[in-house]
Structure formats: structure tokens, C-alpha cells
Amino acid sequence: MDKLQSDRLKHFPNVTSLLKISLGLILFTIISTALVYAETISVEVEGTSYDIDYTPTGVDVLGIEADDFGALLISVDVTESPSFLEIVLNRNFYDSKFDGIDDEFFVLVDGEEGVYTEETTSESRTLNIELPFGTQDIEIIGNDFFGPPVVEESPEESPEESPEESPEESPEESPEESPEESPVVTPPKVEEKPTVTTPKVQCGPGTILKDGACVLDERCGPGTILKDGACVLDSTPKPTVTTPEGVGKQMVISLLVAFGIAGIVGVILALIARASKSKN
């Protein structure tokens, strides 16, 4: 039995061999990991090219660009599920701040809000974005390309150079502007126009005053008078004039009416008398 067990143990590697194999696998893993993750892509912003480091896991990065609204657009091809893209953003190149404090990036994956984790240092911000199978576009939205703008402070003017504080130009000490020496300006005289008095003569309706006498107003037609500068109808009552012809016509009409009434009354009385005789 001892000989049989010793023969079987000869086919197994010893401890030294196992240690060598383990170290080889670890070294191979480290080298392969470095070769896979050491990738860089360039993006051009405002005429300046900048390199961005990224680490793909089950995803191929096809291209990257910056749009006019301050966002990074990344085209990808996701071949595995789940897949991840780790991208390192240097603060000198791209950042997201609000009132000088770090603010979160807004990440869209195919137009929808994506899920990511972040690692932050004083020099960079690393985003690890989770990508579903079939993802094509990633959009990273921040607010600061190439760091915050530098505002140059304008030099303050010295009080000696201020024209307002110069004693030579002080308005209180200027002799030319002294109120005691200013010339006296008298207002111009206004000539009074002579007033023209008109005679108080009133003319009746339909007449006007002309050369001191009332004459017929011929500016308006018959039946109208001038009132307040306009021709209006003459509303003054006119006397009624009776002519002999009118009186004769009225008498003839009255006589005819009287004869007519008398004839009608006679006919009625005759009919009544006849009716009474027939009864008797």
C-alpha cells in the first residue's frame, strides 16, 4: 500500500511548482489588465485637442466630441451585458461646479438618465458608467471647460488723480463762477397790442352788421339764418296771411256741407213719415 501511494504522489506537482504557477497567473492577470485598460481618446474643444483616459469593460468606444452646449458626446458599441465605461476627467479640462463646490455630472445613456459611480480627487473626477446591452450614445453634461474663467481686476485710480478732488478745478473756489460777479440779465420788454373796441350793435335774425348798419344776411339761403358760424333753419314764427280767395273757398265749402246735411235729414224724415202712413 505504501508503494502504491508513493507511485500516485509522483504524478502530482510539488509545492514549489504550485507556487510558481500561481505567481505566473497573477503576473499574467496584471499584464493583461494593464494592456486592456490603458486606452486614451482625443477630443477637440474650442480648437484645442485634449486626451481622455478611459477603461472599457465589454464596450468599444467609437468616438468622442464636445457639443456647443458644453457636453461630451461618446459613441459606443456595447457587446456584453453588463458593461461598464470608466472615464477619467481631469479638472483642468472638464468639471462640474456650482458656487465653487463640486456638483454632480448629468449622464444620459441613449437619452435616458444613466447610473454611475464617481471617485473624486483634487486633480480629477472618475466616472464609472453602467451601460445596458445595445447602448450607442453616452452624454456627459458638466458646466466648466478648461477651468473657471479668470477675471482681471481693473486697477483702482488713486485719489490724487481724481478730477473731482483737484483743488484747482473746485467749482467753489473758481472766481469766474462767483455769483457776485455774474452779470444781471434783465427780461425783455413786451410790447402791448392795442385793443380794438367794436360798437355794441345787435342785429335781428337774418341780418348782419355791415359798415355800422344792419343789412340782410345773404350768406345763407332762404329759410335759414347764420348762427354760430353755420346756416341753420329759421325757427322764428311767421304770421299767417289770409287772402280773399281763401275766404271764398271756405264759404263755398261750408255751404255745400250744410246743403248735404240738410238733404240727408230730409230723406230720413220722409222715410219715417212713409213708414207711419203704411201702418195706419
Q: Rounded to whole angstroms, how far apart are CA atoms 265 and 126?
A: 134
pTM of the model: 0.42
Same domain for 56 and 109: yes
Say if CB 130 and CB 56 are below 8 A apart: no
Which of 213, 206, 209 is CA-nearest to residue 238? 206
Tens digits of pLDDT across the chain (280 residues): 555 555 555 555 666 777 778 777 776 655 554 445 559 999 988 888 889 999 999 999 999 998 888 899 999 999 888 899 999 999 988 999 988 899 999 999 999 999 999 999 999 999 999 999 999 999 999 887 765 443 344 445 544 554 555 445 544 544 455 445 555 666 666 666 666 555 555 677 667 777 777 777 666 766 777 677 677 777 765 555 555 666 677 788 888 888 889 889 989 988 888 888 877 6
Residues 6+ away with beta carbon under 8 Å from 45: 66, 93, 145, 146
- 23 and 51 in a single domain? The answer is no
47 and 32 assigned to the same domain: no
Tell me if 207 is assigned to some domain: yes
Report the SS3 class of residue 23.
helix
Q: How many domains does the chain have?
A: 3
Do 26 and 59 lie in one domain? The reply is no
* 161 falls within a domain: no
Task: Identify the CA nearest to 143 among candidates 101, 86, 84, 112.
Answer: 101
Same domain for 10 and 65, yes or no, is: no
Residues 6+ apart with CB under 8 A from 159: 165
CA distance 80 to 29: 20
Quote the domain boundaries for residue 17. Answer: 1-37
* Length of the chain, in residues: 280
CA distance 47 to 91: 18
Contact 113, 159 (CB under 8 A): no
The DSSP element (H or E) to which 71 belongs, if any, is strand 71-78
What is the rounded distance in angstroms from the CA atom of residue 129 to the CA atom of residue 56? 10
- Please report, for residues 68, 72, 150, 231, the alpha-carbon distance to residue 44 in angstroms, rounded to integers and kept in the order given: 12, 10, 21, 89
Query: Any bridge partners for residue 166, and if so which?
Result: none
242 lies in some domain: no
Alpha-carbon dihedral of residues 260, 266, 268, 269, nearest 10 degrees? 160
Is 187 a member of any domain? no
